[in-house]
Amino acid sequence: MALQIQFSSLKNLCFRWIRFLSTCSAPELPPCDFIPKKHKTKLSRFEIEQIHRINLNPCLKTWYKKPVMLTQGYMQYVWDDSGNRYLDMFGGILTTSIGHCHPRLVETIQQQSTKIWHTSSLYLTEEIHDFAIKLANHFPEPLRCLFICNSGSEANDIAITMSRLYTGAFDIIALRNGYHGSTLSTMPLCSIGVWKFPLPTSFGFHHVTCPDPYRGRVGGRFCRDSLIQTNRHCNCIDADHCQAADYYIEDLQTVMDTVLPKKFAAMFAESIQGVGGVVQYPKQYIKRAYDLVKQRNGLMVMDEVQTGFGRTGTNFWEFQSHGIMPDIVTMAKGIGNGFPMAAVITTAEIAQTLTIGSYFNTFGGNPLASAIGSTVLDVIDDDNLQMRSHNLGNRLLKKLAKIRDDYNGEIVGDVRGKGLMIGMEMMLHGKPMPKDHMDQIIEDCKDMGLIVGRGGPLASVFRIAPPMCINEDDVDFTAEVIRRSIEKYCDRQAKQNF
């Protein structure tokens, strides 16, 4: 009997090895007409690595066994110092919205750089007003009043300040597994352990259960507003009423009744959790949470740092999919296509709170930043990138779901997201895949010319959020590389276990 088991295992390994040999040739990158400039070295790679080790803070870690040194970018592609081309499906962490070195944006920067780069908001400039009205017109009334700043952390800091000043209350609610920045003021909003330091910063901040239909206590295949649903069994009778939403709203209500004072400042939520692993909530959760907040006269702050600017496809802002009108919206990343920009929009009444004392931002809305932001909006609208995100995102979601199903949900546990904000949660023996195993797959993807990200509290989720200018060939290449990388991983595991 033992001999039969050994023979069966050997036969299975042989079949796996034959399949590996048949698929070991890497998929071919889609064609690209752009010819990158020849890289001229000012510093040797050795010098760069030494400077990185000695002069840059050790928190600035790199990925891959041999870190990739990027020297050129064009639209959805980047090149390294050896001339290798990669499809960038992480977009500088959801930041490169319209494409690396987009020709229209390059032209805008060149023109503005010969006009005026910087002056503060103490003086009137055409650029900030042109940008402000364009951006405000992408929001529904009464969200009309903008404060332009430099980062998502700063935007959320301003939202904290305004919500406390306006309500006269101090306490703030946020979701576990959420991420809103890493400054001392925004760190307590976050509820992912690896992003926290042992400092006394969390006074007045309260976290409620993350309403995750895949890994949360409750949820299943009817719960998400998503093309692809989790394979998890669902207790919901049908898609019209989500029992998971009932459960998580009850938890929120309990926190409000037992932990918070009767008056609190605000609830913060990402429209879809980004760093936390592209987590989508049960249907109606945000809408019902909003109603509870309003009953207590609190403010609802929606973080669109990663979900905004058409990336999720169905709406320009993902909060619109939840059917609410937030009091404050924060945004960054894709707003400047990689240029350090952010903004906060609110009502005129709430905005008035910042006049109680002096408040100022040296760089926010300077002419160069505003010209860039304005062009980014123009390109998103003119090239219909929101609809492009919707169509191509659906195509990729279906392909990744097919990979999940081919492995019976054992290696790929869940596929989720909207538009070009996609998460793929990896599992091993019924638990989140360990980071060192994830690293193997990401390494193989890179070797085949694909850059993807990772996230989640245990770094077990592939994050896919490319520049919105990608095409169908890029989608097909991405799915094929991920499939091949998972096959390689499984073959390695089979050999180790034999």
198 C-beta neighbours (distance < 10 Å), count: 5
**Residue 483 Cα distances to 90, 393, 403, 448, 461, angstroms:** 17, 17, 7, 12, 15
For range 225-238, the mean pLDDT: 84
CB neighbour burial string for 245-255, b if at least 16 within 10 angstroms, e if fewer: bbbbbeebeee
CA-closest candidate to residue 342, choices 182, 150, 157: 150
CA-to-CA distance for 301 and 416, rounded, in angstroms?
A: 24
Residue with tokens 């206590």: 217
For range 230-245, the mean pLDDT: 80
Helix axes 367-382, 103-113, angle to 10 degrees: 160
Residue with tokens 């249907």: 283
pLDDT at 239: 64
For range 221-243, the mean pLDDT: 83
* Main-chain dihedrals φ then ψ at residue 480, nearest 5 degrees: -70, -40
pLDDT at 10: 42
CA-closest candidate to residue 328, choices 492, 452, 167: 167
For range 98-121, the mean pLDDT: 96
For range 232-254, the mean pLDDT: 86
Give the pLDDT confidence of 341-361 residue by residue, as tens digits: 999 999 999 999 999 998 989
Decide if pLDDT at 17 tops 50: no
pLDDT at 24: 57
Domains of the chain are 20-94+402-497 (3.90.1150.10), 105-382 (3.40.640.10)
3-state secondary structure of 186: coil
Q: DSSP state, 119?
A: -
Decide if pLDDT at 9 tops 80: no
pLDDT at 296: 95
CA-to-CA distance for 446 and 63, rounded, in angstroms?
A: 10
3-state secondary structure of 420: coil
Q: What's the one-letter identity of residue 267?
A: M
- Report H helices in 237-358: 243-258, 285-295, 348-351
Asked if 410 and 226 count as a contact pair (C-beta separation under 8 A), the reply is no
CA-to-CA distance for 226 and 180, rounded, in angstroms?
A: 23
Decide if pLDDT at 3 tops 50: no
pLDDT at 2: 43
Give the pLDDT confidence of 279-304 residue by residue, as tens digits: 999 999 999 999 999 999 999 999 99
pLDDT at 360: 87
**Confidence tier at 4 by pLDDT (50, 70, 90):** very low
For range 97-104, the mean pLDDT: 97
pLDDT at 40: 82
Decide if pLDDT at 237 tops 80: no
CA-to-CA distance for 434 and 440, rounded, in angstroms?
A: 10
pLDDT at 217: 92
CA-to-CA distance for 388 and 407, rounded, in angstroms?
A: 29
pLDDT at 493: 86
Q: What's the one-letter identity of residue 217?
A: R
Asked if 261 and 169 count as a contact pair (C-beta separation under 8 A), the reply is yes
Decide if pLDDT at 84 tops 60: yes
Decide if pLDDT at 314 tops 50: yes
For range 403-420, the mean pLDDT: 94
pLDDT at 211: 96
Decide if pLDDT at 427 tops 70: yes
pLDDT at 418: 97
CA-to-CA distance for 374 and 379, rounded, in angstroms?
A: 9
pTM across the whole model: 0.93
- Report H helices in 58-125: 91-94, 103-113
CA-to-CA distance for 291 and 319, rounded, in angstroms?
A: 14
For range 450-473, the mean pLDDT: 96
Decide if pLDDT at 119 tops 80: yes
Decide if pLDDT at 221 tops 90: no
For range 215-224, the mean pLDDT: 90
